[in-house]
Amino acid sequence: MKILVQKFGGTSVSTEERRERAAAKVLGAVSENYAVVAVVSAMGRAGDPYATDTLIKLATDINKEITARELDLLMSCGEVISGAVLAATLQNHGLRATLLTGGQAGIITTAEHGEARILRVNPKEILRELKAGRVVVVTGFQGVSEDGAVTTLGRGGSDTSAAALGVALNAEAVDIYTDVEGVMTADPRIVQDARILDVVTYNDVAHLAHEGAKVIHPRAVEIAMRQNMPLRVKSTFSDAPGTLVTNDQPNRAVGADMFEDRLITGIAHMPQVTQITIDISGDRDKPRIVRQIFKSMALAGISVDFISTQLDAVRYTVKDELASKAAEVLQNMNITPKLLSGCAIISLVGGGITDAPGVMADIAEVLAERDIEILQSADSHTTIWVLVKGTHLTEAARMLHGKFINPQ
C-alpha cells in the first residue's frame, strides 16, 4: 500500500469553493492509487466563524484565565468541524471518507496543554481504515495525552501532525498544501519579487521556519528530517510543482553540492520584538550583574534572544508582548532598562554562508545606503541576524533580497 499524507491549511478549507480544490487534490492522489490521509486545519483566519482564534475568543472574552485543558478542548473543535466538512465534500465525490480525531488517529502527546509535543503515533486505526479502502481525514493540531485529555500542539501544529503521521505510516511523502506555491526566498507579503525554491534542504527550511517564515512549522521539518521523509510544499489552488524539501540530490553527481551556487537561500523576519539595553558601565562586578539579569528573565519565564554582552552594556530582545513584564522584573532589581519596542529581526539563512567572507560587510553597506540603522547583529555558520526598527523592516528585507537573492 503506497500512502500519501496531504495537509490542508486554514485558507485551503475556508470556503466551499476552496474545499472543492482540496478535494480535487485528494481525488488526484486516489486516482494514482495512493492510500490518502488528509490532515486538516481549522477553517479560515481570525474572525471567520470556526477559526481557532474565533473559538479562543468565545471563552477568553468572558474569562481570560480559562484553564488550558478546557481551552484545548475548545480549540480542538475547529479541526473537528473542518474535518467533518471535508469528509462530507469527499463523500460527495463518491469517495469513502472517514474522520478521525488526533486521539483516534493514535497521536499521543505530552500533557502540556496548548504546546503539547508528540510522544509517539500508533497508526493502527488509520491503517485499518486505509486497508478497507477509505480515505482517512485526520484533524490536525491535536492529540491526546497519556491520561486521555485532548491536547493541542501550538500554532502551525497541523504541519507537525502531518509530518508525524507521514513518518509513522512510512508514507511516500507528506504534501503541505497552502495558499502559496511553495517555500519562497522571502515572505511574498513583504518582498513582492520573492521566488519559489524548487528544492531546499531540511536544514535551510527549518532555519527559515524558526526565524519566522511561517509557511511550515519548524517541528514538522525536524520530524521529517529524522526519517528523510520527503516534504513537499504546494498550492491547493494550482498545479505548480511546489517545493521539495529533501537532502537528496537527484540530478547531481554524487558529492556535488546541490546548492553550490546559492549563498543565501532565503530571508525570514520576526516582527514585534523589543530591544532591551542595560547600561552596566558603572558596575564593578559585571559577570555577576549579567548572570542576575538572565537568571531573573528565566525565572519569570521570559524567553530572550539576540543576547549581546559588552563592557558597557547588556542588550537582548524579547517579544513586544513580554516587554513590560521584563521591565518590571528588572526594576525590581533596581535596574532601569532602556526599551525600544516594535523592532524586527531579519534573518538571512543559507548553508552557503559558512566560510563566505564579506557577507556582513555587504549587508551593512546595503542598509547604510538607505540609512537603515543596524541595532544589533549576530551570525552563525548558517544564519546572519540583524535587528532593525520595525519601520525599516520592509525596505530592509527588500534591499537585502535584492542584493543577495535577486541581484540585478
* Distances in whole angstroms, Cα of residue 340 to Cα of each of 172, 295, 327, 389: 48, 22, 11, 8
Minimum distance of Mg ion from residue 9's CB (angstroms): 5
Q: Which stretch binds ligand ADP (CB under 6 A): 80-88, 208-216, 283-291, 334-342?
A: 208-216
Residues 231-290 that bind ligand ADP (CB under 6 A): 266
Which DSSP helix (H) or strand (E) runs through 308? Answer: strand 305-309
From Mg ion, ligand ADP, none, which one binds at residue 187 (CB under 5 to 8 Å depending on kind)? ligand ADP
From ligand ADP, Mg ion, none, which one binds at residue 180 (CB under 5 to 8 Å depending on kind)? ligand ADP
The crossing angle, in degrees rounded to 10, of helices 359-369 and 393-404 is 130
Minimum distance of ligand ADP from residue 280's CB (angstroms): 37
Q: Which stretch binds ligand ADP (CB under 6 A): 3-11, 62-70, 77-85, 325-333?
A: 3-11
Q: x/- string (CB under 6 A) for ligand ADP, residues 31-50?
A: ----------x---------
Which grid cell is 376?
A: 544589533
From Mg ion, ligand ADP, none, which one binds at residue 266 (CB under 5 to 8 Å depending on kind)? ligand ADP
The residues binding Mg ion (CB under 5 A) are 9, 156
| Residue number, 45 or 57, with CB nearest to Mg ion | 45
| Residue number, 156 or 242, with CB nearest to Mg ion | 156
Residue 82 in contact with ligand ADP, rule: CB under 6 A: no
Residues 6+ apart with CB under 8 A from 67: none
**What is the number of the residue whose Cβ is closest to ligand ADP?**
9
| Residue number, 51 or 278, with CB nearest to ligand ADP | 51
Minimum distance of ligand ADP from residue 398's CB (angstroms): 14
From ligand ADP, Mg ion, none, which one binds at residue 276 (CB under 5 to 8 Å depending on kind)? none
First to last CA, the chain: 49
Which grid cell is 191?
A: 518582498
Minimum distance of Mg ion from residue 40's CB (angstroms): 12
Q: x/- string (CB under 6 A) for ligand ADP, residues 168-207?
A: ----------xxx--xx-xxxx------------------
Residue 201 burial (C-beta neighbours within 10 Å; 0-12, 13-18, 19+): buried
Minimum distance of ligand ADP from residue 41's CB (angstroms): 6
| Residue number, 112 or 179, with CB nearest to ligand ADP | 179
C-alpha angle 210-215-221 in degrees, rounded to nearest 5: 55
| Residue number, 39 or 171, with CB nearest to Mg ion | 39
| Residue number, 196 or 330, with CB nearest to Mg ion | 196
Considering only CA atoms, which of 348, 366, 345, 346 is closest in space to residue 356? 348
Please give the order of strands across the beta sheet that includes 118-121: 118-121, 107-109, 142-145, 150-152
Q: Which stretch binds ligand ADP (CB under 6 A): 32-40, 77-85, 211-219, 369-377?
A: 211-219
Q: Which stretch binds ligand ADP (CB under 6 A): 4-12, 119-127, 145-153, 284-292?
A: 4-12
Minimum distance of Mg ion from residue 216's CB (angstroms): 7
Judge contact between 44 and 85, C-beta under 8 A.
Answer: no
Question: What does the alpha-carbon distance between residue 202 and residue 165 come to, in Å, rounded to a whole number?
Answer: 18
| Residue number, 75 or 213, with CB nearest to ligand ADP | 213
Judge contact between 347 and 268, C-beta under 8 A.
Answer: yes
Minimum distance of ligand ADP from residue 139's CB (angstroms): 14
DSSP code string of 111-179 = S-TTS--EEEE-THHHHHHHHTT-EEEEETTEEEETTS-EEE--TTHHHHHHHHHHHHTT-SEEEEEES
C-alpha angle 49-67-328 in degrees, rounded to nearest 5: 105
Judge contact between 303 and 389, C-beta under 8 A.
Answer: no
Reduced to 3 states (helix: H, G, I; strand: E, B; else coil), residue 269 is strand
Please give the order of strands across the beta sheet that includes 173-178: 97-100, 135-139, 35-40, 3-8, 173-178, 231-235, 243-245, 199-200
Site for ligand ADP, rule CB under 6 A: 9-12, 41, 156, 178-180, 183-184, 186-189, 208, 213-215, 266
